[in-house]
Structure 1
Amino acid sequence: MIRPHSLRALIDTLKTNHRNVGLLCNQTAFLFEEKMYLMDWLAKEKVLKTIFVPEHGLFSELQDQEALENAEIYHFWEGVNCVSLYGHDEQSLKASPEKVEELDDILIDIQDVGCRYFTYLTTIAYLFETIARCQRPPRVWVIDHPNPAGRQVEGSPISTTYASFIGHEGLPHRHGLTLGEIAFWLKEFYGGAFDLQVLMGASPDYFMQIYPSPNFPSLQTAELYSGQCLFEATILSEGRGTTRPFEIVGAPFLRWETLHRIKHDVEHLSKEYHWFNYVLRPLQFIPTFHKYANELCGGFQIHLSTQAKNHSLLSSLLLLRTFNEHIPNLWRIGSYEKGNPRTALEILVGDELLIDFVRGKQPLLEVVSYLKGSENQWINSVGYVSKEPLFSLL
């Protein structure tokens, strides 16, 4: 088959050759130039057989960790089977080999956000794991998307010890790659011999105008997410249920005086570091759902200058450590993920040294040195897939 170099040419080729096509996507697979969803186009050309639906549902209508048991609720396309890849059990997270081998081609069109906690990457990884084991693997086409968190790298690769659906083994907290680039990395990780092709995505004119998940409303979210997502490991609200998730953090028991003490300590500890540029603005807020729904909370909104560089992971680790010094029993207890006994802190931070740091057991200078080495090691290891230079602020 001739290798197309555009999405339109690919769809023409799929139609001409009567291919059976699968599509892993959500609502970010909207083609603004065509004014339609990719699934609508493929269905119209009568090549689409299966839609694989990730966490949050096809239209990002489901909240975090909310299972989709019956993807046939998306019964909009005649003859198209919808398969949930986020049900109630671990088995539901992976497509069956039988479903995959029915297909000649699989297209992947979904917006990643540049951090390992964002589970679409793990969904793609599990799909590649299945494809790599197939006797007759389908050809894979990835529609490339820019990384809204940019080319900056943060953190350390997660080990097998802490890896999970919320953090694929080997990925740092913030990876710096586009969707197409990380697809090549995942293919190599699983030793896949299948054919993988990457096509350029849509025009940047509409970049991030469709939210990729229900609590990811903006590019500002992408700048903070590598650090602020870690607040899911605490008893504090991470801002879900507000219009500024991952920018707002707090709880009903946080008094005004406590907030100012925390603010003072964070500013004192961070004043010598160029990588810390959080501005903490004390406020009150009322989440409409999730933690502390309909309760008045005290907390902070985190602001970032559009000009300043910021290491969000380190900044949030420092913020977490300071909260831990002021709030007893800060950390969520019990398992965080289905089928996994580990706590949210272990799964999200995913590194023993960093866990010890937020608990007050490691000095900041040692953490900075450790992350500098880890980030540069990742940058060097993925140079073969990255079309543009990655960088670390450390």
Structure 2
Amino acid sequence: MKRVTTGLEVLINDHGRFKGNIALLCHNASVDSQCVNAAFRFKEMFGSRFVKIFGPQHGFSTDAQDNMIETDHTMHPYFNIPVFSLYSETRIPTDEMLEGIDHLFVDLQDVGCRMYTYIYTLTLLLEKCGDRDIEILVLDRPNPLNGKDIEGNILNLEYQSFIGRHPIPVRHGMTIGEVALMHQDYWTTKKANLKVIKMRDWQREMTFEDTKLPWLLPSPNLARHESAFTFPSTVLFEGTNLSEGRGTTQPLEIVGHPKMEPFSYYANHLNAQALENKLKGFTFRPIVYIPTFHKYTDVACGGFQIHVTDKKIFKPWRVGQFLLRELYHHLGEDFEWLKPPYEYNYEKEPIDIINGTDKLREWVEKQGSMEMLDSFEDLAAYRQQLNTVKLYGGHTI
């Protein structure tokens, strides 16, 4: 396969039409194939017309940990232009922030999962600019989980939050450019002046390693592209008192708890249950680890690492729900659902916000069957919508 050319690199090779003032929404993973950050390339292309930078959750430098850790607005010491945080006292750019901008480029590496916030920074931006004479240009990037497979329940809008604003499944199968088009066609009545600069040579069945592009962490706990594939499994544990591996070298690939002895539980129960429930394309590996920060700092946790062995058949959302169900009943009174607040919601259970419904928590507590889990995936209408905004060929399953 050819190396994929990102929207950023397409722009670098053809940027002459842009004559006004330029702004850029980007982060640590906004790089070209040589690992040069987009901000450097924008300075080269546009010079003094490059006037503002915006950063999403975790910041322009992607150094802020976890949810509800905000970043400040700053003046960049090298570029000597303001850097505005869209995860600060506001998630929506203010009138002052947008003043004097003619073209606002968005170059963010998404992870292909509903709970990842960058697509909502984009859609809030589109809504804010719906009545403004600012051209919004999305520099498209690969969905690292591929653009073919979709999985999980559709968000119930009663559980809308900054980790779930729109009625999409957990594994949504879109590039960030396609998310922008979906928003304009189905989720808003205020149309922005939107253009998507497409990638070249990206195919929907590609996972990230197929693209031959460098992986730079898009958020502090996704340092490996393998972590993106387990993220739809392990993000569920943010709504519990189990560690999801933050404070280790493999966050969001592992889960654990101080009261768990993983080796006997794996040998006597978990492995057999996974096989019985026909979960494929991965293996659980029992481990013991000590987080250096976050949950259970300096306390030994027993748990499991999810090793993906075949990405074509691995179903991360399904595996995550299965593991959550099993550990809920195994740990008994040592298991706890995290209490609010979570992502600025002070009322609803965090696990329900993550799941986008309270029905999956009830499924876990009642030890529902895997066949019952199938009933949560009513994806026919979503597939039809997705087919109308696809920028790249192929089928979605």
Question: What is the TM-score normalised by the length of structure 2?
Answer: 0.87
Instruction: Tell me, in whole angstroms, the C-alpha distance in 2 between the residues paired with 1:340 and 1:99.
Output: 28
> Is 1:365 matched with 2:371?
yes
Change (3 A) 1:20 1:311: same
Tell me what 1:346 maps to.
Answer: 352
Please list every run of 5 or more consecutive structure 2 residues that lacks an aligned counterpart in the other structure: 1-7, 202-209
Q: Kindly indicate whether the alpha-carbon contact (under 8 Å) linking 2:290 and 2:300 is maintained by their aligned counterparts in 1.
A: yes
Equivalent positions of 1:118-129 (< 5 A) are 118-129=116-127
Tell me how far 1:237 sits from its aligned partner.
Answer: 0.5
Tell me how far 1:178 sits from its aligned partner.
Answer: 1.0
The one-letter code of the counterpart of 1:52 is: F
Change (3 A) 1:145 1:263: farther
Tell me what 1:43 maps to.
Answer: 43
Pick one of 31, 51, 56 that aligns with 2:58: 56
Tell me what 2:142 maps to.
Answer: 146
Tell me what 1:82 maps to.
Answer: 83
Tell me what 1:249 maps to.
Answer: 255
Deviates more, 1:190-199 or 1:108-117: 190-199
Change (3 A) 1:202 1:63: farther
2:54 match: secondary structure: strand
Aligned-pair Cα RMSD in Å: 2.4
Change (3 A) 1:284 1:97: same
Please list every run of 5 or more consecutive structure 1 residues that lacks an aligned counterpart in the other structure: none
Deviates more, 1:4-13 or 1:19-28: 4-13
Change (3 A) 1:97 1:338: same
Instruction: Tell me, in whole angstroms, the C-alpha distance in 2 between the residues paired with 1:244 and 1:66.
Output: 22
Change (3 A) 1:159 1:390: farther
2:324 match: secondary structure: helix
Q: Kindly indicate whether the alpha-carbon contact (under 8 Å) linking 1:153 and 1:390 is maintained by their aligned counterparts in 2.
A: no
Q: Kindly indicate whether the alpha-carbon contact (under 8 Å) linking 2:152 and 2:376 is maintained by their aligned counterparts in 1.
A: no
Tell me how far 1:142 sits from its aligned partner.
Answer: 0.9
Instruction: Tell me, in whole angstroms, the C-alpha distance in 1 between the residues paired with 2:112 and 2:303.
Output: 26
Tell me what 1:100 maps to.
Answer: 98
After superposition, give the CA deviation of every residue in 1:291-345 in whole Å (9 maximum; x if it has no partner).
1112111111111213661111111101101111122242112221225422210
Q: Kindly indicate whether the alpha-carbon contact (under 8 Å) linking 1:107 and 1:140 is maintained by their aligned counterparts in 2.
A: yes
Instruction: Tell me, in whole angstroms, the C-alpha distance in 2 between the residues paired with 1:157 and 1:208.
Output: 31
Q: Kindly indicate whether the alpha-carbon contact (under 8 Å) linking 1:158 and 1:167 is maintained by their aligned counterparts in 2.
A: yes
How many residue pairs get matched? 375
> Is 1:179 matched with 2:176?
yes
Change (3 A) 1:307 1:229: closer
Tell me how far 1:255 sits from its aligned partner.
Answer: 2.6
Tell me how far 1:106 sits from its aligned partner.
Answer: 0.8
> Is 1:336 matched with 2:336?
no
Equivalent positions of 1:192-341 (< 5 A) are 192-201=190-199, 207-256=213-262, 260-261=264-265, 264-306=268-310, 309-327=313-331, 328=333, 329-341=335-347
After superposition, give the CA deviation of every residue in 1:133-169 in whole Å (9 maximum; x if it has no partner).
x2x3311111110110112111122122111001122
1:250 match: secondary structure: strand
Question: What is the TM-score normalised by the length of structure 1?
Answer: 0.87
The one-letter code of the counterpart of 1:50 is: K
Instruction: Tell me, in whole angstroms, the C-alpha distance in 2 between the residues paired with 1:116 and 1:32.
Output: 26
Change (3 A) 1:359 1:276: farther
Q: Kindly indicate whether the alpha-carbon contact (under 8 Å) linking 2:75 and 2:82 is maintained by their aligned counterparts in 1.
A: no
Change (3 A) 1:139 1:338: same
Tell me what 2:29 maps to.
Answer: 28
Deviates more, 1:376-385 or 1:95-104: 95-104
Q: Kindly indicate whether the alpha-carbon contact (under 8 Å) linking 1:263 and 1:280 is maintained by their aligned counterparts in 2.
A: no
The one-letter code of the counterpart of 1:25 is: C
Q: Kindly indicate whether the alpha-carbon contact (under 8 Å) linking 1:142 and 1:197 is maintained by their aligned counterparts in 2.
A: yes
Change (3 A) 1:5 1:333: closer
Change (3 A) 1:130 1:263: farther
Instruction: Tell me, in whole angstroms, the C-alpha distance in 2 between the residues paired with 1:354 and 1:66.
Output: 24
Tell me how far 1:262 sits from its aligned partner.
Answer: 5.8
2:181 match: secondary structure: helix
